[in-house]
A = this chain, B = another copy of it.
Amino acid sequence: MKNSKLYKGSLITIILKLLSEHEKMYGYEITQKVKTITKGALKITEGALYPALHKLEADGLLSVEIVEVNNRLRKYYKLTEQGNKETVSKLNELENYIKTMQTLISPKPSWQ
């Protein structure tokens, strides 16, 4: 990811959410999808993405299918059953985080 340090900690959530919407995706596709959805506001770096995908796979949240397309290999990832559960959990965490931060930054009149 590029730019704001706030994105630290949200990569896993982003990957899981995208996979919950797309059945199967490969790494490069994820980087491009995030770029277009966020209109360039967020760029996932490959140095962060690939190790994250490998960890999610090792943790049993993703399964892999290797496919050759145009003489190039693609590694398609999809959510496992456990991955689906973790996605729900991570999205709840994110919503809680956003609510908490909005509580903290919502303007407080000086008499409070």
Chain A interface residues (CB < 8 Å from chain B): 4-10, 13-14, 17-18, 21, 34, 37-38, 41-42, 91, 93-94, 96-98, 100-105, 108, 110
Interchain CB contact under 8 A, B17 and A104: yes
Interchain CB contact under 8 A, A6 and B94: yes
A96 cross-chain contacts in B, Cβ below 8 A: 4, 41
Taken together, the copies of this chain in the complex come to: 2
Chain B CB within 10 A, most for which of A13, A14, A97, A108: A97
Give chain B nearest CB distance to A50 CB in angstroms: 19
A10 cross-chain contacts in B, Cβ below 8 A: 6, 101
Interchain CB contact under 8 A, A91 and B104: no
